[in-house]
């Protein structure tokens, strides 16, 4: 999949989802194998890890960092539920790092704007997302507004910012802020979700695109709740049924014709 994306000039990030209850050692070995295989490939691909699947084990994280450095690839930390964020930051602060490492900041968490400053201090690349899980301590935060607050804190962030959203208006507002400040940034899109309009938006701002490719025990990129009352999501699901696996590639080709 990543080779095919690279043929279209698209970078990628692979994110492994482990089965519930999988031993942390086995999960780490899957990521180590990913770095080993990427070492033999001439493609721009990051590896994302869910630290809860490693049981926040510092020694296992250090192994992944060393493998990332040896392969010349970046290691990225996915965002999980709010109750895991303190353990995530403890690991990022305490474990010595030799590779390029990134972290994820959800806009719907009130603390994320301040965490952006911590990411800058630690020299971490940042991926900004709306966030799947709400923070019970700040349930009133509107995800899009919170997203832009985090983006504003990351203006002039020298280590790079990935804007991860298929919301075209939010993507455009974020890229406008970051490019105006001269901040190195990318648009990160999720494989299987609508591609053409956000891709054209990224290209309008002259920003590269990276595609997140999930694998392992992962579910669909949308569910019934996403489709109910959302005609765009319903239309996307219908295309899934009719076009199957070719749908994403048709969308990618259409976006290239409009460059």
Asked if 75 and 99 count as a contact pair (C-beta separation under 8 A), the reply is yes
Residue 250, pLDDT score: 75
Residue 109, pLDDT score: 86
Asked if 39 and 70 count as a contact pair (C-beta separation under 8 A), the reply is yes
Q: DSSP 3-state assignment of 12?
A: strand
Residue 101, pLDDT score: 97
The C-alpha atoms of residue 56 and residue 72 are separated, in whole angstroms, by 23
> Which domains, and CATH codes, for the chain?
2-222 (3.20.20.220)
Residue 255, pLDDT score: 73
Q: Could you tell me the pTM of the whole model? A: 0.85
| Phi-psi sector, 47: left (phi>0), alpha (psi -120 to 50), beta | beta
Which residues, given as ranges, of the chain have pLDDT below 70?
133-140, 218-247, 256-259
């Amino acid at each position: 999949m990543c080779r095919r994306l690279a043929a279209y000039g698209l970078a990628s990030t692979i994110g492994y989802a482990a089965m519930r209850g999988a031993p942390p050692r086995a999960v780490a070995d899957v990521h180590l194998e990913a770095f080993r295989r990427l070492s033999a490939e001439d493609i721009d691909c990051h590896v994302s890890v869910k630290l809860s699947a490693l049981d926040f084990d510092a020694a296992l994280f250090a192994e992944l960092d060393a493998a990332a450095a040896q392969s010349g690839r970046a290691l990225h930390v996915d965002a999980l539920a709010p109750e895991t964020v303190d353990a995530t930051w403890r690991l990022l602060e305490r474990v010595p790092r030799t590779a390029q490492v990134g972290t994820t900041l959800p806009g719907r968490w009130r603390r994320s704007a301040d965490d952006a400053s911590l990411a800058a201090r630690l020299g971490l690349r940042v991926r900004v997302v709306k966030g799947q899980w709400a923070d019970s301590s700040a349930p009133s935060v509107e995800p899009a507004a919170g997203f832009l607050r985090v983006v504003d804190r990351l203006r002039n962030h020298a280590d790079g910012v990935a804007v991860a959203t298929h919301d075209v208006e939010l993507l455009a507002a974020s890229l406008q802020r970051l490019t105006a400040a001269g901040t190195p940034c990318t648009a990160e899109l999720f494989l299987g979700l609508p591609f053409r309009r956000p891709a054209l938006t990224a290209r309008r701002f002259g920003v590269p695109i990276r595609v997140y490719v999930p694998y392992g025990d992962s579910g669909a990129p949308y569910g019934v709740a996403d489709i109910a009352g959302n005609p765009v999501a319903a239309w996307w699901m219908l295309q899934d049924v009719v076009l199957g696996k070719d749908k994403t590639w048709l969308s990618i080709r259409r976006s290239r014709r409009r460059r």
